Amino acid sequence: MKMKPDFFVANRARLAQELSGGLIVVTAYDEMQRANDMAHPYEQEANMWYLCGVEASRWKLVIDGQRHHSWLVEPAMSDVERIFDGGADPAAIRMTSGVDEVITHDEFEPLLRQLLRRHSTVYTVQSIGLEHVSFTLNPAQRQLTHILERIFSSVVDCQLELSRLRAIKQPVEIAAMQRAITLTTESFELMRDIRQDSNYEYQLEAVMTGNFRQHNAYHAYDPIVASGAHACTLHYGANNGKLTKRQLVLLDVGARVDGYAADISRTYAIGTPTQRQRAVHQALEQAQRDIIKLLGPHLSVSDYQREVDSIMTATLLSLGLDAGTPEQTLRTYMPHAIGHGIGIDVHESLGRTRTLEAGMTLTVEPGIYIPEEGIGARIEDDILITNSGRRNMSRALSTALD
């Protein structure tokens, strides 16, 4: 069930109100090269999708908050591109998005110069704060910023305002997330039933991928199927190791359905687990239960983090894991954050909030990683903050080790 045009129209109106009737221009991502003359599978920039639902590359969206008018800009396409790749139908795009007009690429800059008469400032989305990443950023936002800077005297990033809007999920968004979580849960259960008869990590991945495609869904991110010591590499992705008895296998998998992601982790035993493996997993289960119980509306994020650190440090010490100071122990055996926001993006900002509020969705994913013992375990669930507490949206999937 895809989002209706009213959803995107309302999101544009809310952003325009947040920016006091300002002018907003955002862009879709460009396609990125995969090999020679092939592109990687395309995934839309989340803010662009949130505001108009367009899933094609290179389109641009213009919102005049004063006039309550919006335009989508069709990218320039050669005849060769249209023959080989096709092109999005402007009429269908307009119907999906609920925009007022669709214009051509050649009309884009003249429109901006016309809007300059009313707006000296233009808002856009920039890749600020991602300088630390090891991959090359999609160039579309930077290229759009260069165009805007040629025309407007003030170009302002509105990523924070969009993040705050997106952080509070609307009922239709929660329903879409639940569909993604339900499909992911079903796929975990199918995989779990065949894991003891499988020989390689990729066979477990294949079962889940196949079930996603049977339901016209895809992975929301590259799946992790990590057995034994592989699970101590947090972003392990080869998924080609051999499964052996008396070994744990960690799976971190999530479907994307109707634009929204699930993100679930479970750790299972191959064969009969050892006493040590069982002790680590049981301690992790209890820690996650205790952490989830902390969650609720108006909870201070800093207080939550302190409580999480206390719970996880005590858990690690109870297992005989000690790297020196409590801080060193925590960072050695659980080197990642307790969770993150989730929605359209798998890792979604909560808008720099100081407190958790009803409508926010986030993961709780404690892990214990002991490289010297070849043990890595993580349990991750997707949580909705409610007016009265919290709801574990992925609770239907058992956390049992066996």
User: 223-236 burial string, b = 16+ CB within 10 Å, else e?
Assistant: bbbbbbbbbbeeeb
**pLDDT recorded at residue 130:** 73
Asked if pLDDT for residue 168 goes beyond 80, the answer is yes
Kindly report the number of other CB atoms within 10 A of residue 261's CB atom: 26
Q: Which structure tokens are listed for 56?
A: 């094609």
pLDDT digits (tens, 9 = 90+) for 123-132: 999 976 676 7
**pLDDT recorded at residue 131:** 66
pLDDT digits (tens, 9 = 90+) for 197-230: 999 999 999 999 999 999 999 999 999 999 999 9
Asked if pLDDT for residue 86 goes beyond 90, the answer is no
pTM score of the predicted model? 0.96
Cα–Cα distance, 356 to 149 (Å, whole number): 36
Strand partners, 64: 23, 69
pLDDT digits (tens, 9 = 90+) for 179-188: 999 999 999 9
Name the band, by pLDDT with cuts 50, 70 and 90, for residue 13.
very high
Mean pLDDT of all residues belonging to the chain: 96
pLDDT digits (tens, 9 = 90+) for 283-319: 999 999 999 999 999 999 999 999 999 999 999 999 9
Percent share of the chain, pLDDT over 90: 93
Bridge pairing between strands 101-103 and 69-73: parallel
State mean pLDDT over 149-159. 98
**pLDDT recorded at residue 82:** 82
Domain architecture of the chain: domains with CATH: 5-166 (3.40.350.10), 168-392 (3.90.230.10)
Q: ∠218-219-220 over CA atoms, to 5°?
A: 110
Q: ∠303-308-310 over CA atoms, to 5°?
A: 95
Name the band, by pLDDT with cuts 50, 70 and 90, for residue 140.
very high
